[in-house]
Amino acid sequence: MTNHNIFKKKITQIVSGKSLALWLPIVFALIVILSGECAIQVIKKPRFWEKTTWLLHDPYRGEPFDRLIVFEKLKAVQKARPEIISVGDSSGFFSIRPNIVNHYLRGLKYFSLSTGANQAFAGYKGIAEFALRNNPSIQYVVLNMYPNLMPSPHACRVADLAPILYDNLAGLRSWLTPPSASLSPYAKSLFFYRSNYDPESLLSTHKVYLEFHHSILQSLGWAPEHDVRFDRVHQTTPFFQDIENKAENMWGTFEHSCIIETLNDFAKMCRKYHVRLFVMFNPMPWQAVVNNENLKTAEKALAEFQRQNPDVLFLTQQLVIPWNPDKFGMYNHVSRDWVHESSGRMGRALEKAIYTPESMVPFNPAWRSQEFAVPRNIKTIGPATEDQKNAALAYFLFTATFDPVYEKQISGRVHTELQGNTDFALLKEDEKARLGYLARKKITLDYDTSQIKAEVVSLENGYHPVGVNNTKWIRLSGIMQFGLHSTTHNVSEPVNWPEGSNIIIPIIHEGDGYKYDGYFPSSAE
């Protein structure tokens, strides 16, 4: 019997008798489902953001803020149409102001898609790939990382949002999500929250989210940190193990480097979309660096990756770049009052890599253990006066508001430092533009320091080369209250600055009162 006759016989069997009775309900159900999906597509015309299950995936799951940030960033980047994007952990999210970076880029636009370490590293790849698919303007991708949050088995294990994010943005689910998925938020809102879903309503009333939502197109993906302060004297941040046993057999154990494997995957993706990959490491507080074998192993892996991928440029030629601990809010987030330094650093590195790539030096594993001055024997002398407290807070509040009231509480030496600082001038320009942008939306920000306690302390050593005889050291602690006020919301975010964080600031008596004297620029790399 020929193949044609066999096929004809099978078809006859399927459409006859009992077989037909079994198949008809299945065929009918498929027709109903497809008709329903087509009807939803024609009537509702759902876009990607209405169909994706990423944002409202498992409302009973934690970390909604992280998902909202991704949602806002990926919507905004399509409007911004940048040539350069960055992906990575929150050290890039909070520590890099794109408008300062853009000053160095000769007309190119940089947008920060950096998010949080709980989306590493599949999540970063998903974010980058989604942006590349939908933004043909992109020419460069920066993988921007905090040094000890590089790829590692530990980092990948704790990144619980990463596989969900990748699947919804760039994986198979991103292609197969049906139009009816756009009805999911309506059903979930009724089931979980007993309320009707309004697609036009804001997705959170959290102060940080509201500020970010309303300013993202101006800030190009940056948000100021609202960190509980870390211990600037004692806290350390160890490097995690890179090498992992992947398989064992009769010939022994096969090992692989998570760093090399992950970065190779990123490099391959960038080549697929014909864009260039840059790798950037953000600075670390100098007392936090744990100089162990894991650090040395990570450096060797990065050097091997560089050898295998000479087309990938490292914007920082070393893994560890130590900075003064008082320039950080949390150990991996440069504080909002020092973000001009980290942003200018990124801008200059990008300018060099884009316009004179031949001048870039390959990654160099050159870190050597160093000794840094850290305060010792910190003892409380007594409460600070109101004048002393205001001086200690002056620089932080000045950079947040650029109010001349705070400017008058800054020492002459610091004014001289700031007047010649291009990046600080860019910070001032950008912050005034951001505040004006929010004001046009009838939104104002405020900073309530009434719950901040200030005390005079004595100590041995210090973070600063202070040589003035009348220097006093002020330790700040308590609650910093960040407020946002609009026509629809009056919200605040109370942030703890613990006494154990050792927020110790030098002030001097100058002229008619005490002045802030703690500004010292970071040394060039």
Which tens digit of pLDDT belongs to each residue from 447-460?
999 999 999 999 88
Tell me the residue range of the domain where 10 lies.
Answer: 3-44
Position 1 scores a pLDDT of 53
Residues 327 and 380 in one domain: no
Nearest 5°: CA angle at 137, between 224 and 349?
55
Choose the final residue of a domain: 359, 392, 427: 359
Assess if residue 521 is contained within a domain.
no
Q: Is the pLDDT of residue 319 over 60?
A: yes
**Percentage of residues in the chain having pLDDT higher than 70:** 89
Position 11 scores a pLDDT of 54
Lowest mean pLDDT: which of 15-19, 24-28, 283-287, 416-420? 15-19
Residues 192 and 340 in one domain: yes
Exposed / middle / buried, residue 525 (Cβ in 10 Å: 0-12, 13-18, 19+) = exposed
Residues 259 and 327 in one domain: yes
Choose the final residue of a domain: 309, 333, 359: 359
Q: Is the pLDDT of residue 73 over 60?
A: yes
Assess if residue 366 is contained within a domain.
no
Name the pTM for this structure. Answer: 0.89
Identify the three-state secondary structure at position 101: helix
d(CA 83, CA 8): 57
Assess if residue 291 is contained within a domain.
yes
d(CA 302, CA 4): 60
Q: Which residue reads 């620089």 in tokens?
A: 395
Per-residue pLDDT reduced to its tens digit, 160-190: 778 888 888 888 877 778 888 777 777 777 8
Assess if residue 450 is contained within a domain.
yes
d(CA 414, CA 323): 19
Assess if residue 365 is contained within a domain.
no
Q: Is the pLDDT of residue 5 over 70?
A: no
Question: Which residues fall within 8 angstroms of residue 330, CB to CB, at 6 or more apart?
Answer: 225, 227, 228, 229, 230
Residues 297 and 237 in one domain: yes
**In the structure, what pLDDT confidence band is assigned to residue 6 with cuts at 50, 70 and 90?**
low
CA 228 to chain centre: 16
Instruction: Determine which helix (DSSP H) or strand (DSSP E) holds 257, and give its type and residue range.
Output: strand 252-257
Residues 411 and 355 in one domain: no
Residues 438 and 489 in one domain: yes
Across the chain, mean pLDDT equals 88
d(CA 210, CA 450): 23
The DSSP line for 271-304 is HHTT-EEEEEE--EEGGGB--SHHHHHHHHHHHH
Per-residue pLDDT reduced to its tens digit, 74-130: 999 999 999 999 999 999 999 999 999 999 999 999 999 999 888 889 999 999 999
Residues 89 and 21 in one domain: no
Position 331 scores a pLDDT of 94
Lowest mean pLDDT: which of 49-63, 124-138, 228-242? 49-63
Position 463 scores a pLDDT of 67
Residues 149 and 21 in one domain: no
Residues 338 and 392 in one domain: no
Residues 206 and 292 in one domain: yes
d(CA 319, CA 315): 10
Of 222 and 40, which is predicted with more confidence? Answer: 222
Of 42 and 15, which is predicted with more confidence? Answer: 42
Residues 320 and 397 in one domain: no
Per-residue pLDDT reduced to its tens digit, 332-385: 999 999 999 999 999 999 999 999 999 999 998 877 777 777 888 999 999 999
Phi, psi angles (nearest 5°) of residue 16? -115, 150
Position 212 scores a pLDDT of 97
Per-residue pLDDT reduced to its tens digit, 52-72: 766 655 554 556 788 889 989
Proportion of the chain in helix, strand, coil states, percent, rounded to 5: 45, 20, 35
Instruction: Determine which helix (DSSP H) or strand (DSSP E) holds 379, and give its type and residue range.
Output: strand 376-383
Q: Is the pLDDT of residue 467 over 60?
A: no
| Among the listed residues 349, 357, 348, 280, the one whose alpha carbon sits nearest the alpha carbon of residue 311 | 357
Assess if residue 522 is contained within a domain.
no
**In the structure, what pLDDT confidence band is assigned to residue 41 with cuts at 50, 70 and 90?**
confident
Domain count, the chain: 3
| Among the listed residues 234, 317, 309, 220, the one whose alpha carbon sits nearest the alpha carbon of residue 266 | 309
**In the structure, what pLDDT confidence band is assigned to residue 250 with cuts at 50, 70 and 90?**
very low
Q: Is the pLDDT of residue 243 over 90?
A: no
- Copy the structure tokens of residue 152: 């590692």
Lowest mean pLDDT: which of 42-46, 95-99, 147-151, 422-426? 42-46
Of 169 and 157, which is predicted with more confidence? Answer: 169
Cα-based distances in Å from 489 to 16, 225, 239, 327: 67, 20, 42, 31
Assess if residue 524 is contained within a domain.
no
Assess if residue 323 is contained within a domain.
yes
d(CA 257, CA 308): 13
Residues 69 and 7 in one domain: no
